[in-house]
Amino acid sequence: MRLKVGDRVKFLNDHGGGVVSKVISSNLVHVKDSDGFEIPTLSNELVKVEEGGQSGRMFSDDYVIDFREKDSKKQGIVEDEGGVVYDNRSSKLNVFAAKGNDKKGIYLAFVPQDQKWLLTGSIDVFLVNFSDYDILFSMFLRKPNGAWEGADYDAVKPNHKILLNTISREEIERWSYGLIQILFHKDLSSKVLAPANCTFSFKPAKLYQENVYLGCSFLNEKSFMLILAETDVQQTIADSPLGEKYDEEIKEQVAKPKKPEEIINQHKTSPQEAVVDLHIGDLLDNYAKMSNAEMLNYQLNYFVKCLESAIRSYVTKVIFIHGVGDGILKGKIHEILNAYPNIKYKDASMKNFGYGATEVLIWHSAAV
């Protein structure tokens, strides 16, 4: 028996049951009971309750979507008016403005559960509503024979994410081609957005490349993210009573991978200048178990990332603070800089940075 997040189940060898809150593997899941406790349970010790589940009830006659805040005492378990207890698989986004200015919209995010080893283990698949609209969505996955399989449908509140499924690495290909339909709702707005019909596709091998997993301003974890619809540029059906466009064709959209935020932007002091502190304590919170060689490699890798980012972003001056120490880090930095054309470097101002900083000047031919 294959279980997915949101399925209501009963225990075979014990009283009670609950809702599947996490899929660890094909044989093991977490079941959240009515008291909010998560219990690791083998799949063959569970019986699926077909008539339950939140998403399975969404379009039934007696199902009412309620966007109001629920009583949090049950730790994520929500009880509807009929007394049925089910799992609330959506959670609020924590927006970190300092991490970038991501575009408002709807995203599909593939988040490795093990954030230390991004290329191994299970992956949580989220639909992310980083917008001011309530949304209804319907998701389809393309089967190998060309048929479309209905995978999920539900409602998501503004600035919330919903867990669609937890997949193994072997299931990536099944989730690499699909289509998502989205309806936008707002109680009061100056415009009405058209529904979004968005296809998405990517090569499964892409999720085995560490550099595709990026941070963003609204998720705590690194993820491979696809932009399904940007609300600021989404087609409108009506802007005002005089601007109705009901007869216009609704266009299909294609999801695009989220572009990485340039790392040099985190260190800019002005539009074309930046200061990067390479002291290991400023780069990592926990480095006590790292060897000197590991710390040096981490500092050099971060230096190169910032330098390359500065070149791409047409930054003209970067101060790299490396400290005095034994001079190894400074020497390695200068060796790397010598390999770059159109770059000059010198010791930075001793008055402003002491003896432990290098000033890098970048000449951009396109800027002339």
Which range (10-24, 106-120, 253-267) has the least confidence?
253-267
For residue 53, give both structure tokens. 């589940």
**pLDDT, position 228:** 93
Flag whether pLDDT at 69 surpasses 90.
Answer: no
**pLDDT, position 97:** 54
Q: Of 74-78, 239-243, 268-272, where does the model show the most confidence? A: 268-272
- In sequence order, the 6+-apart residues with CB closer than 8 A to the CB of 23 are 3, 4, 5, 29, 30, 122, 165, 166, 167
**pLDDT, position 240:** 54
For residue 225, give both structure tokens. 């993210």
Distance CA 180, CA 192 (A): 19
**101, 102, 85, 110: which is closest to 165 by C-alpha?**
110
Q: Using CB atoms within 10 A of its CB, is residue 31 exposed (0-12), middle (13-18) or buried (19+)?
A: buried
Pairing of strands 224-230, 177-185: unpaired
pLDDT, tens only, 146-188: 899 999 999 999 999 999 999 999 999 999 999 999 999 998 8
Helices 328-338 and 292-312 sit at what angle, rounded to 10 degrees? 40
For residue 136, give both structure tokens. 């209804």
**pLDDT, position 254:** 66
Look at residue 117 and give its three-state secondary structure: coil
More confident residue, 240 or 87: 240
Distance CA 188, CA 191 (A): 9
pLDDT, tens only, 17-34: 888 887 766 667 788 887
Percent of the chain with pLDDT over 90: 38
* SS3 assignment for 221-251: CCEEEEEEEECCCCCEEECCCCCECCCCCCC
Walk me through the domains of the chain, giving residue ranges and CATH numbers.
8-85 (no CATH), 90-257 (2.60.40.1600), 263-367 (3.30.1370.110)
**pLDDT, position 249:** 52
Q: Give the position of tokens 């989404």.
A: 234
